[in-house]
Amino acid sequence: MNIVVCVKQIPDPATPGALDGSTHALKRDGKLILDESDGYGVEMALQLVTTAGSGEVSIVSMAPNGEMSGMRTALAMGAAKGVLVSDPALAGSDALTTAKVLAAAIQKMGAADLIIAATESSDGYTGTVPEQIAEVLGLPSVTFAKKVEISNGVLKADRQSEAGYDEVECPLPALISVTAGVVEPRYPSFKGIMAAKAKPIETFTASDLGVSPAGWAGAGQKIVSVVQAEARQAGEVIEDDGTAFNKIVSFLENLKVI
């Protein structure tokens, strides 16, 4: 079982992000980390390969400035190798161009039984890249997978829906997007971190992959404005005078959770 996991490398959410002038894009010129959402995909892939008993997990990322720090984290978790697409000509790429680039890189990596992505990234999320990769590659795609099993070449997934979940089956090769919580990502061990330094990451440009960068001018999406997120309101503190449970019950009733 050979699995390719799409891993987005993002600015560390723990440090304040900065926007890039008139383009409104998030500045990504410093160190980038593995998007937490993609940690679930890497873990899922590692577990599926272990269950299958053979094969390996590869990772693919498109990121500026040859940045590999986030990829090294995925390699430290246990992925075997990676492909990075990095090219100044790809600045301004919208989600569709990103999907075309990742699809071309995945094709170059050779036959994969399964491609895994997260349902949406944590920074610039459109939640559209995985399905666009599947469309470009002509693969079936199962979105919002919260449980995944593979047996006899058939993928079975519980697909999160608003009312609960649907049980879905599809043949391989396929692409799935997984939700946070599908599995518990492992922490890279010290041995894994050291081993990751020596694992291969091949780097390609857009022209190596035969993809024409659309740039800002050709992007089908535009970021027209960015607004400050609303500050969180302070919570209400209820002192228990013996009747606090009434206030809590009415609070939960208002939220319609009871």
Ligand X SMILES: Cc1cc2nc3c(=O)[nH]c(=O)nc-3n(C[C@H](O)[C@H](O)[C@H](O)COP(=O)(O)OP(=O)(O)OC[C@H]3O[C@@H](n4cnc5c(N)ncnc54)[C@H](O)[C@@H]3O)c2cc1C
Selected range binding ligand X among 71-79, 143-151, 214-222, 231-239, rule: CB under 6 A: 214-222
Q: How far is the CB of 26 from ligand X (least distance, A)?
A: 7
> Whose Cβ is closer to ligand X: residue 16's or residue 53's?
16
Is 72 near ligand X (CB under 6 A)?
A: no
Is 98 near ligand X (CB under 6 A)?
A: yes
Is 141 near ligand X (CB under 6 A)?
A: no
Is 128 near ligand X (CB under 6 A)?
A: yes
Q: Which of 166, 222, 249, 253 binds ligand X (CB under 6 A)?
A: 222
Q: What is the C-alpha to C-alpha distance for residues 206 and 186, in angstroms, rounded to an integer? A: 33
- What is the footprint of ligand X within residues 100-119 (CB under 6 A)? 102, 117-118
Q: How far is the CB of 161 from ligand X (least distance, A)?
A: 19
Is 87 near ligand X (CB under 6 A)?
A: no
Q: Judged by CB under 6 A, how many residues of this single chain contact ligand X? A: 33
Cα 41–Cα 180–Cα 191 angle in degrees, nearest 5:
50
**Which residues, in sequence order, are bridge partners of residue 60?**
6, 83
Q: Which of 44, 48, 62, 176 binds ligand X (CB under 6 A)?
A: 62
- DSSP H helices in 147-209: 190-196, 206-209
DSSP 23: G
CA dist list (Å): 220 to 97, 98, 223: 9, 12, 10
Peptide bond into 173 cis (omega under 30): yes
Is 199 near ligand X (CB under 6 A)?
A: no
Is 33 near ligand X (CB under 6 A)?
A: no
Residue with tokens 């491609």: 115
> Whose Cβ is closer to ligand X: residue 205's or residue 247's?
205
Is 92 near ligand X (CB under 6 A)?
A: yes
Is 246 near ligand X (CB under 6 A)?
A: no
Q: Which of 3, 4, 7, 148 binds ligand X (CB under 6 A)?
A: 7
Q: Which of 38, 43, 87, 158 binds ligand X (CB under 6 A)?
A: 38
* Burial tier of 34 (Cβ tally within 10 Å: 0-12, 13-18, 19+): buried
- Report the half-sphere exposure of 181 (CA within 13 A, side-chain side): 5
Q: Which of 121, 128, 185, 116 is closest to 157 using CA atoms?
A: 116
Torsion from C-alpha of 11, 13, 15, 17, nearest 10 degrees = 60
Q: Which residues bind ligand X (CB under 6 A)?
A: 6-8, 25, 28, 35, 37-38, 61-62, 64, 91-95, 98, 102, 117-118, 120-121, 124-130, 219, 221-223
